[in-house]
């Protein structure tokens, strides 16, 4: 007698729906052995499929007992059934049960891989089987594109690939023509040489010449069981290969991704999009947390409120040294350093009609003067304020070329200007105004020559000598100025307030002014004022320019005198220019750590809140927070919905032996794949847009330090994993309703037995 594989003792199966109980199988007693080829027939609804599914371990049974190799299965838990489906049966279902999106090859390989066979082995085995069922030529075609005959052959190929002792086929020829049916039956007959084959069919005639036994059921009961021929002694079953199912989940995940290229691409696109949204929204949110831009700048402490400027002094008030400069240049995000930080608070103006405009009120008096008729302008309203700031030539931390042409200034009357080389050699007047220390309308006026040009920044870069002039102690020079005013022996002096100052206009300019549209005020270029040029070489204090009212002059001294009059060191304040305002906090923290006193003038002096801007900012914050929440929720919902499309293929794979744990892990694996690649692509997109000059996006990135980026990535990943858990649980509920994780049966005993035979 051949080995008895399946024994049914009074086995009953009921289908219970809401109120109805249908009997699927009614107290069946049967025994099947290896080598048998059994045909089960019966009319539609008689219970054939039910029997097949119960024997295949796909449906549970309620009454009696099913013995496998003489051992009862009624106490099997989920994990035991998983093992049974994986190792003991091959199941061919009526509707093929193949993975429609996967290729023919993948369908067979996956069945083999699920049993724990290694990749290489599975491939060579699959080739053998595909040649046998004549599908080798079509190996890379998607299963969905096969004809019904080919699909059924594929599902048989898959069943044959698995070295299970039992093969159950539920109406495999149902949709086939005679020729194809015959092929299928002969394949099954061949398979029966080494296993038990149970063929469910409604067309007994086509199997009649092959089967060894014919069972007929009716209303869930066996009504006939006849032996047609003695089964041959079964051939030696294929050796069961060693199981190495490690990494199987990754294979399943990969299979799922490959089987649905469009789905995968959409998912990747969607994840990329959410990452893009999450990062840009978070960047916007973080940048809007800073309310400085909603405040108006008050320039009474620092005239130059450039947002990229950081003013640094030694915390103990001592002078800056060369070493300090090196240290400060080494701080990350520092773009350049200006030794004379004070100078950055002094404005200059040049190109009289472009950068520097007086605005006079029209309160004029006309009269006759020694030079002819004139109009007296009684007061000055204000000066156009978009004047660049004076700076000394900056130092860069890297080897950057400051000059694009020309040379560096060698004295305080030579400058480097931002602009093109056509500027080199041009001279123009420069008006210096120290809003911090002088009256608002006090100016120093010098004439400078451009000796070099630069692409860096905007404005004029002076020689250090000019810096020293302003660095020099104001009080000291004020003293000099008040004591020696008549002798002009001073570097600069505060000018008297300009209100009430006189400026002469010629008649035609006045007419021009009168016809100007604005009746109350008007603009015109500031008249260029003469200055005394009285250079005398070899005089220690060399007077060069002075104009009585309304301007003050400055005097030129030798560099040695500058050094003598000014401080010996480099003074107390340095101005750093950082790459972007977004880095302000990071740079300030670093400077504080290094022991410096540092402020962002822009931030410190932006004081009065603009209610409209403040409202806009709050709105931005709210919108960003809401949009972030929406993006994350959308991500969860779409992810869940998209993954539910995979459920069917998981059910199919479950039927051929995919266990619950691997199924769950493979989902996690796919989600991680999308999340991580989405993050990479999303970030690349942001970086790409930033690099492509879309400033609004490049800006956001600068507000996200690495730590924030990592945190955001983790939050995104966390959301993905939480959703994955949700999807995994839903799948488990659907496909593995009573799954345990660990089989507590002694399967090894069974394996040993198998090995013995």
Segments of 468-621 assigned E as strands: 504-505, 521-525, 541-545, 554-557, 574-578, 596-599, 606-609
Judged by beta carbon distances under 5 to 8 A according to partner kind, the member of ligand ADP, Mg ion, none in contact with residue 15 is: ligand ADP
CA gap 360, 354 in Å, rounded: 16
Regarding 44 and contact with ligand ADP (CB under 6 A), the answer is: yes
Task: Give me the least distance between CB of 48 and ligand ADP, in Å please.
Answer: 3
Are 199 and 40 in contact by the 8 Å Cβ rule? The answer is yes
Give, as ranges, the residues between 1 and 20 that touch ligand ADP (CB under 6 A).
15, 17
Q: Which is nearer to ligand ADP, 220 or 305 (CB)?
A: 220
Q: Which single residue is written with the structure tokens 């079509």?
A: 138
Task: Give me the least distance between CB of 49 and Mg ion, in Å please.
Answer: 3
CA gap 634, 275 in Å, rounded: 12
**Backbone phi and psi for residue 557, each to the nearest 5 degrees, phi listed first:** -125, 165
Task: Give me the least distance between CB of 48 and Mg ion, in Å please.
Answer: 5
Q: Please report which residue ranges of 290-371 form alpha helices under DSSP H.
A: 322-329
Task: Give me the least distance between CB of 46 and ligand ADP, in Å please.
Answer: 4
**Backbone phi and psi for residue 229, each to the nearest 5 degrees, phi listed first:** -155, 155
Among 50, 274, 294, 670, binds ligand ADP (CB under 6 A): 50
Q: Which is nearer to Mg ion, 51 or 349 (CB)?
A: 51
Q: Which is nearer to Mg ion, 93 or 433 (CB)?
A: 93
Residue 392 host element (H or E): strand 390-392
Judged by beta carbon distances under 5 to 8 A according to partner kind, the member of ligand ADP, Mg ion, none in contact with residue 50 is: ligand ADP
CA gap 754, 752 in Å, rounded: 5
Judged by beta carbon distances under 5 to 8 A according to partner kind, the member of Mg ion, ligand ADP, none in contact with residue 44 is: ligand ADP
Judged by beta carbon distances under 5 to 8 A according to partner kind, the member of Mg ion, ligand ADP, none in contact with residue 45 is: ligand ADP
Quote the tokens at residue 409.
């200034």
CA gap 359, 215 in Å, rounded: 111
Q: Which is nearer to Mg ion, 101 or 172 (CB)?
A: 172
Q: Please report which residue ranges of 10-118 form alpha helices under DSSP H.
A: 48-55, 78-87, 104-114
Binding window for ligand ADP (CB under 6 A); candidates: 45-53, 154-162, 465-473, 489-497 = 45-53
Regarding 22 and contact with ligand ADP (CB under 6 A), the answer is: yes
For 416, 455, 556, 608, 680, the CA distances from 452, given in Å and listed in that order, are 5, 11, 22, 40, 45
Distance of CA 711 to the CA centre of its chain: 11
Task: Give me the least distance between CB of 56 and ligand ADP, in Å please.
Answer: 12
Question: For residue 550, is the peptide bond before it cis, meaning its omega torsion is within 30 degrees of 0?
Answer: yes
Q: Please report which residue ranges of 290-359 form alpha helices under DSSP H.
A: 322-329
Segments of 87-178 assigned E as strands: 89-92, 166-170
Q: Which is nearer to ligand ADP, 200 or 334 (CB)?
A: 200
Among 47, 116, 467, 550, binds ligand ADP (CB under 6 A): 47
Q: Which is nearer to ligand ADP, 15 or 741 (CB)?
A: 15
Binding characters for Mg ion, 17-56, by CB under 5 A (x = yes)? --------------------------------x-------
For 72, 112, 233, 324, 362, the CA distances from 1, given in Å and listed in that order, are 20, 30, 9, 97, 125
Regarding 42 and contact with ligand ADP (CB under 6 A), the answer is: yes
Binding window for ligand ADP (CB under 6 A); candidates: 46-54, 191-199, 551-559, 665-673 = 46-54
Regarding 734 and contact with ligand ADP (CB under 6 A), the answer is: no
Regarding 584 and contact with ligand ADP (CB under 6 A), the answer is: no
Q: Which is nearer to ligand ADP, 152 or 600 (CB)?
A: 152
Q: Which is nearer to ligand ADP, 48 or 468 (CB)?
A: 48
Distance of CA 183 to the CA centre of its chain: 54
Of 534, 343, 341, 550, whose CA–CA distance to 445 is shortest?
550
CA gap 217, 364 in Å, rounded: 120
Give, as ranges, the residues between 665 and 704 that touch ligand ADP (CB under 6 A).
none
Quote the tokens at residue 53.
């599914």
Q: Which is nearer to ligand ADP, 47 or 467 (CB)?
A: 47
Q: Which is nearer to ligand ADP, 42 or 78 (CB)?
A: 42
Q: Which is nearer to ligand ADP, 21 or 749 (CB)?
A: 21
Q: Which single residue is written with the structure tokens 């009953």?
A: 12
Judged by beta carbon distances under 5 to 8 A according to partner kind, the member of ligand ADP, Mg ion, none in contact with residue 46 is: ligand ADP
**Backbone phi and psi for residue 538, each to the nearest 5 degrees, phi listed first:** 65, 15
CB atoms within 10 A of CB 244: 12
The three-class DSSP label of residue 740 is coil
Q: Helices 248-259 and 104-114 meet at what angle, rounded to 10?
A: 160
Judged by beta carbon distances under 5 to 8 A according to partner kind, the member of ligand ADP, Mg ion, none in contact with residue 24 is: ligand ADP
Task: Give me the least distance between CB of 173 and ligand ADP, in Å please.
Answer: 14
Task: Give me the least distance between CB of 156 and ligand ADP, in Å please.
Answer: 19
Task: Give me the least distance between CB of 59 and ligand ADP, in Å please.
Answer: 8
Task: Give me the least distance between CB of 19 and ligand ADP, in Å please.
Answer: 12
Judged by beta carbon distances under 5 to 8 A according to partner kind, the member of Mg ion, ligand ADP, none in contact with residue 22 is: ligand ADP
Q: Helices 148-161 and 178-191 meet at what angle, rounded to 10?
A: 0
Q: How many residues does the chain have?
A: 757
Q: Which is nearer to ligand ADP, 22 or 186 (CB)?
A: 22
Task: Give me the least distance between CB of 625 and Mg ion, in Å please.
Answer: 56
Task: Give me the least distance between CB of 40 and ligand ADP, in Å please.
Answer: 9
Among 26, 49, 274, 287, binds ligand ADP (CB under 6 A): 49
Binding residues with Mg ion: total (CB under 5 A): 1
Q: Which residues bind Mg ion (CB under 5 A)?
A: 49
What residues line the site for ligand ADP (CB under 6 A)?
15, 17, 22, 24, 42, 44-50
């Amino acid at each position: 007698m051949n080995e008895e594989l399946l024994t049914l003792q009074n086995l009953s199966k009921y289908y219970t729906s809401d109120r109805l109980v249908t009997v699927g199988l009614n107290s069946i007693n049967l025994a099947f052995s290896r080598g048998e080829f059994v045909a089960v027939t019966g009319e539609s609804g008689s219970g054939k499929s039910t029997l097949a599914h119960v024997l295949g371990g796909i449906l549970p049974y309620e009454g009696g007992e099913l013995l496998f190799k003489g051992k009862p299965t009624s106490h099997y838990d989920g994990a035991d059934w998983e093992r049974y489906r994986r190792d003991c049966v091959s199941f061919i279902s009526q509707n093929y049960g193949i993975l429609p999106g996967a290729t023919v090859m993948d369908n067979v390989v996956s069945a083999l891989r699920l049993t724990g066979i290694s990749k290489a082995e599975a491939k060579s085995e699959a080739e053998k089987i595909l040649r046998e069922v004549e599908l080798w030529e079509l190996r890379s075609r998607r299963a969905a594109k096969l004809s019904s005959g080919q699909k059924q052959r594929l599902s048989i190929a898959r069943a044959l690939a698995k070295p299970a002792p039992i093969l159950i086929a539920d109406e495999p020829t149902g949709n086939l023509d005679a020729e194809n049916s015959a092929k299928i039956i002969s394949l099954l007959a061949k398979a029966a040489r080494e296993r038990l084959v149970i063929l469910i069919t409604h067309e007994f005639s086509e199997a009649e010449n092959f089967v060894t036994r014919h069972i007929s059921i009716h209303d869930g009961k066996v009504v006939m069981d006849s032996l047609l021929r003695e089964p041959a002694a079964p051939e030696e079953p294929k050796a069961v290969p060693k199981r190495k199912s490690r990494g199987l989940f990754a294979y399943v995940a990969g299979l799922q991704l490959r089987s649905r290229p469009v789905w995968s691409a959409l998912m990747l696109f969607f994840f990329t999009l959410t990452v893009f949204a999450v990062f840009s929204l978070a960047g916007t949110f973080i940048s809007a947390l800073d309310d400085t831009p909603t405040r108006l700048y008050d320039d009474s402490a620092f005239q130059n409120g450039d947002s990229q400027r950081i003013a640094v002094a030694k915390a103990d008030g001592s002078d800056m040294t060369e070493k300090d400069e090196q240290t400060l240049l080494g701080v990350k995000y520092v773009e350049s350093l200006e030794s004379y930080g004070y100078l950055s608070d002094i404005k200059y103006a040049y190109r009289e009609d472009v950068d520097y405009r007086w605005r006079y009120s029209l309160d004029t008096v006309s009269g006759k003067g020694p030079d002819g008729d004139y109009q007296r302008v009684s007061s000055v309203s204000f000066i156009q304020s978009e004047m660049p700031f004076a700076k000394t030539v900056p130092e860069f931390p890297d080897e950057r070329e400051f000059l694009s042409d020309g040379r560096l200034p060698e004295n305080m009357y030579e400058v480097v200007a931002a602009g093109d080389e056509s500027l080199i050699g041009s001279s123009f007047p420069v008006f210096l105004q120290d809003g911090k220390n002088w009256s608002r309308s006090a100016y120093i006026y010098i004439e400078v020559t451009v000796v070099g040009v630069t692409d860096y920044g905007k404005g004029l870069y002076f020689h250090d000598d000019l810096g020293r002039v302003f660095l020099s102690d104001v009080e000291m020079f004020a003293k000099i100025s008040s004591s020696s005013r008549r002798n002009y022996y001073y570097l600069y002096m505060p000018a008297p307030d300009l209100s009430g100052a006189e400026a002469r206009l010629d008649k035609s300019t006045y007419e021009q002014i009168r016809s100007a549209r604005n009746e109350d005020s008007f603009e015109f270029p500031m008249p260029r004022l003469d200055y005394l040029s009285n250079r005398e070489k070899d005089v220690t204090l060399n007077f060069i320019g002075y104009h009585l009212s309304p301007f003050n002059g400055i005097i030129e001294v030798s560099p040695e005198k500058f050094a003598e009059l000014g401080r010996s060191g480099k003074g107390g304040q340095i101005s750093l220019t950082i790459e972007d305002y977004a880095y302000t906090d990071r740079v300030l923290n670093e400077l504080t750590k290094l022991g410096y006193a540092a402020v962002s003038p822009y931030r410190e002096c932006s004081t009065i809140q603009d209610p409209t801007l403040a409202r806009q900012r709050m709105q931005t914050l709210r919108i960003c927070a809401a949009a972030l929440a929406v993006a994350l929720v959308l991500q969860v919902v779409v992810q869940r919905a998209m993954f539910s499309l995979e459920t069917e293929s998981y059910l199919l794979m479950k039927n051929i032996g995919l266990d619950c744990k691997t199924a769950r892990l493979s989902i996690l694996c796919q989600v991680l794949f999308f999340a991580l690649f989405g993050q990479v692509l999303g970030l690349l997109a942001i970086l790409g847009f930033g690099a492509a000059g879309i400033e609004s996006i490049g800006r956001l990135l600068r507000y996200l330090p690495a730590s924030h980026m990592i945190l955001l990535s983790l939050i995104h990943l966390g959301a993905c994993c939480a959703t994955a858990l949700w999807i995994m649980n839903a799948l488990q509920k659907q496909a593995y309703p009573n799954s345990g994780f660990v089989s507590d049966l002694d399967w090894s005993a069974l394996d040993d037995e198998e090995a013995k035979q």
